[in-house]
Chain A
């Protein structure tokens, strides 16, 4: 299952997607996150699933744009045009280098921005 945690507002869309079919609840991404965005626990979206899975903590779901900011220095004018949006190539590259993404051996976690 693909769980898209985050939100859409006037300024854009900010989602962290967890593929719970791939996630084995190892917790490495939660450990490495400098902002305590991620939590390990019972799957909030699948009550019948045994075992743990990673998800975005409830407090952070509406704040992702700001909480994840420290890891997203690529989202400034320097890395893109005046609208501070990097090129698709730059973005694709940066998204792979996020520490939570890099530490996941199952490729179960991804950011949309």
Chain B
């Protein structure tokens, strides 16, 4: 069976094509102002990459905060459900899934791929990827480099502000007083991880802890999570596609 999953997130749209339980295509692009159209285009691209026609996709599953913009589809699944399904498919030993997106973060307790409990950090940029994004911009780094350089510091500086807007000013001030970028980057990642770890602890942390979502590509953030959870977190390949994968799996189930 060929299914597709579309994840319309706060920033990017991700599409995965699944054929008999194997991922045959994955593609993403910024949603911008027309995430629905972007989703449609990505679907076509993905189908082409998989050497099938769009009509060959039998069922389409949709998830993400922007799912209401999705093109016609068969199945709707919540971000929580999609993350749980996708993470378990990728790493079957997953018991705690930490889904870190641009606009919100989720902690999900999973058992046999189904959701037992969850907690969220939402509606506040300081609890999600948007926090790192602002700071990476202030440091004039890409998100990936921002993550990498933070590993090069063992002397974090304090960031007192608990708000992305106030913290950005604090970072600018630190940069102006010649604080090394590595220290600042590490402090930012540590601060965000602290908030995510506290949120996940509400549902109880059970190994294996699997981190998904775009932020899972930030090495410094992962390092901070390891310290916060006191265990090594696992990250599947292409973590930002886990939601779309979960949606594709949901489409295949019904």
Question: A76 interface residue, CB < 8 Å from B?
Answer: yes
Main secondary structure, interface of B, reads: mixed
A84 to chain B: closest residue by CB: B119
One of A10, A67, A69, A84 near B124 (C-beta < 8 A): A10
One of B117, B122, B126 near A78 (C-beta < 8 A): B117
Measured in the bound complex, the distance between the Cα atoms of B123 and A65 in whole Å is: 13
Give the segment of B4-12, B50-58, B193-201, B210-218 that binds chain A: B193-201
Which of chain A's residues have a CB closer than 8 A to the CB of B198?
65-67, 69-70
B162 touches A69 (CB 8 A): no
Which of chain B's residues have a CB closer than 8 A to the CB of A63?
162
Question: B175 interface residue, CB < 8 Å from A?
Answer: no
Q: With A62-B162, A76-B118 in contact, is A11–B124 under 8 Å at CB?
A: yes
Question: A73 interface residue, CB < 8 Å from B?
Answer: yes
Measured in the bound complex, the distance between the Cα atoms of B122 and A12 in whole Å is: 10
A76 touches B162 (CB 8 A): no
Query: How far is the CB of A63 from the nearest CB of chain B, in Å?
Result: 6
Complex interface bits, A69-92 against B, C-beta within 8 A gives 1, otherwise 0: 110110111100010100000000
Measured in the bound complex, the distance between the Cα atoms of B119 and A11 in whole Å is: 13
Question: A46 interface residue, CB < 8 Å from B?
Answer: no
> Interface on A for B, CB 8 Å cutoff?
7, 9-12, 62-63, 65-67, 69-70, 72-73, 75-78, 82, 84
- A and B contact pairs by CB, cutoff 8 A, 16 listed: A9-B163, A12-B123, A65-B198, A66-B194, A66-B198, A69-B199, A70-B198, A70-B201, A70-B202, A76-B119, A76-B203, A77-B119, A78-B203, A82-B78, A84-B119, A84-B120
- Knowing that A9-B163, A84-B120 touch, tell me 10 more A-B residue pairs with CB under 8 angstroms: A10-B123, A11-B121, A11-B123, A62-B161, A66-B194, A67-B198, A70-B201, A72-B202, A76-B118, A78-B116
